[in-house]
Chain A
């Protein structure tokens, strides 16, 4: 909206300097503006068209076809979707993906909020920020390589052996037990993304004007009430944004899982994106892979729209 308002004000001011009577100049200027718009938009629009929109359209078409990438393509209607729905590996993949999200999103965001609030009240923010941020700048491959060894089973597993030696407790075989592998993946995912949410929340907290909390304090509000009625509402747009991003990225989890466990050997680690990768680039069922990917898109869109629907009730925007 701002876009058009801004340019309209410019237009309103222009005639004073241009020849106000000439319709032709105005039309000519409009046309020239269109050329400029095309020039400025061109490169990004072309990239978006060629590398996102056309492939997306192609994916939709492929989802209704059977094709191994080399031989003949053939139309199969909704077969690919039906196969996915009746395929237990796809159902597992959806359930595992949802499990991952149900752990990482609430735990990750609440932990990050608590740490950010603690940081907001102590000295030495800078050094803590750096420390908590280290995993964020580390590639997910390296993170997974390190954690795979820490979580390994048998004699080499650092975590399980140490806990056994110190406390006599036998922990689950994190990476090989289908019932526990998502918990391990969720823990590693939270570990590696925590710092990002911490600095985002900290930035949000620091943008809250000090006088607002001060006023509440003078009115006799305790820390909990200040948090509930001042901090939380003012921080809600930031929390909402992180919430949306966290859900989407939990749906798209792949890198850390691919390196941490081989989902071919542990079905408990199969996520939807792994299913897309497996069907497309290991089994060369391009149609089925595209169908699974489209279902992932659908899931993402539905959940994101639902989140934005909830936004009105929980998010407070200052006017």
Chain B
């Protein structure tokens, strides 16, 4: 009886703490949504009011008129999509070679892959910039896509998944005369679909939210990705018009948040898996 009551009290206390934490997590988003409807005048007269008075929906069309958000969405989307496809394919191919093909220096090469993971991407900023301007790729999306494909973490994660594919499946196909490529596309890839989905989500989010590369490699507004456009919006229209700036940031995050809510289970599990070294 006493333990039951104590357990009850404990549960209530836990929920209370978790809810307070949850409010801290959501409050900035709620505040953003509400403030996005406020007029400039209200921000100055009564900055602490929670609710907009009057509600001013025009901040949204104004923000959309001021900056090409539609364009930025398309840019971010197709850049992320190509990066995902290219990374998944090349990383799983490399991981297959490391796991199932015997070749000289296989282990040392894998160690090199692992070590490059320790190199902070920032070290290559200047050299990459110089190189990409030689190629004439500055202010093009190639500058964002191609460097992102080099992804040792992706190789490492795919290797974990390929190792789990039973080798007997491969041997059976080999006896039937299948070559390496056929085995890879027909047997390995279908068996590592969950791993590829998880990695795909991680790479997509990384590309979508990446900021320092667009900041350095892109110049013209029509090439900007969503985060880059928002940062530039802040620079140009920041000032005192909080309403419009928060309308812009609402435009830049809400579609992503909705997509997240829809795929939340898959997305969260993938990210959790990445944090556990791809297990």
Partners in one complex: yes
Interface size class of B (residues with CB under 8 A): 35 or more
Q: Which residue of A lies closest to B154 (CB)?
A: A44
- With A3-B106, A145-B230, A156-B43 in contact, is A242–B275 under 8 Å at CB? yes
Tell me the interface secondary structure of chain B in the complex: helix
Q: Are A158 and B31 in contact (CB under 8 A)?
A: yes
Tell me the interface secondary structure of chain A in the complex: helix
From A7, A119, A122, give the contact of B100 (CB < 8 A). A7
Q: Give complex CA distance A165, B268 in Å.
A: 39
- Number of inter-chain CB pairs below 8 Å: 311
Q: Are A296 and B26 in contact (CB under 8 A)?
A: no
Instruction: Determine whether A126 belongs to the interface, using a CB cutoff of 8 Å to chain B.
Output: yes
Q: Are A52 and B150 in contact (CB under 8 A)?
A: yes
From B100, B179, B230, give the contact of A142 (CB < 8 A). B230
Q: Are A59 and B126 in contact (CB under 8 A)?
A: yes
Instruction: Determine whether A300 belongs to the interface, using a CB cutoff of 8 Å to chain B.
Output: yes
Distance in angstroms from A29 CB to nearest chain B CB is 10
The size of the chain A interface, using a CB distance under 8 A, is: 108
Q: Give complex CA distance A69, B125 in Å.
A: 13
Known: A51-B128, A280-B125, A296-B123. 13 other contacts (CB 8 A): A1-B107, A6-B100, A48-B113, A58-B127, A122-B18, A129-B264, A130-B260, A158-B31, A158-B48, A191-B24, A196-B275, A280-B129, A297-B118
B: residues with CB less than 8 A from A are 11, 14-15, 17-18, 21-22, 24-26, 28-29, 31-32, 35, 43-44, 47-48, 89-91, 93-94, 96-104, 106-107, 109-110, 113, 116, 118-131, 146-147, 149-152, 155, 163, 167, 171, 175, 179-181, 184, 205, 208-209, 211-212, 215-216, 226-228, 230-231, 234, 240, 242, 245-246, 249, 252-253, 256-257, 260-261, 264-265, 267-269, 271-273, 275-277
19 of the cross-chain contacts (CB-CB < 8 Å) are A2-B163, A6-B99, A41-B98, A47-B150, A52-B147, A55-B128, A56-B124, A128-B22, A129-B268, A132-B22, A134-B260, A137-B256, A146-B32, A146-B249, A203-B276, A238-B276, A241-B276, A277-B216, A289-B125
